[in-house]
Amino acid sequence: MLLGANLDNRFVQMEKAFNEIEKQIGAVTRYSSLYETAAWGKEDEPAYLNQVLLVETSLLPLEVLKEINGIENRLGRIRNLKWGSRTIDIDILFYDDEVIESERLMVPHPFLHQRKFALVPLNEIAPYLLHPVLKKRVSALLLEVEDDLLVRKIGD
């Protein structure tokens, strides 16, 4: 899962989302560092914090999505503008090696391979993970990404 926040206290929002995911969805078995990135697609928005979590769950993909939507709502997410600022955003990047294409859910995330802010933290914890559609490892996708936004590890 990819977490992102650029409103309110971003660090607190990320921590709350992490804790809610562990309570509602499953155990976080690995997690990346926090990264700060300029807003993608909307350069006049505040910078985002991003983090990738590897979560072990017994929930089915649509059940995970339902829980994510509940967490986002509880943490104040308002959906009014595509790619607009948000208190929290939680995306499913992969679900095992499944490919899901429905109106409600697309897995792997359809823009993952185009977004450095997702690939950098994912590469930190799972560089050898194979994209089930593109048949490329995360590390290779990161080398190929054309996104030039600066993705800065917090604490470096």
Q: Provide the annotated active-site residues.
A: 77, 86, 89, 91
Q: Which residue has the tokens 């089930």?
A: 132
Long-range contacts, stretch 93-97, CB < 8 angstroms, 24+ apart: 93/1, 93/2, 93/52, 93/118, 93/122, 94/129, 94/131, 94/132, 95/61, 95/64, 97/130, 97/132
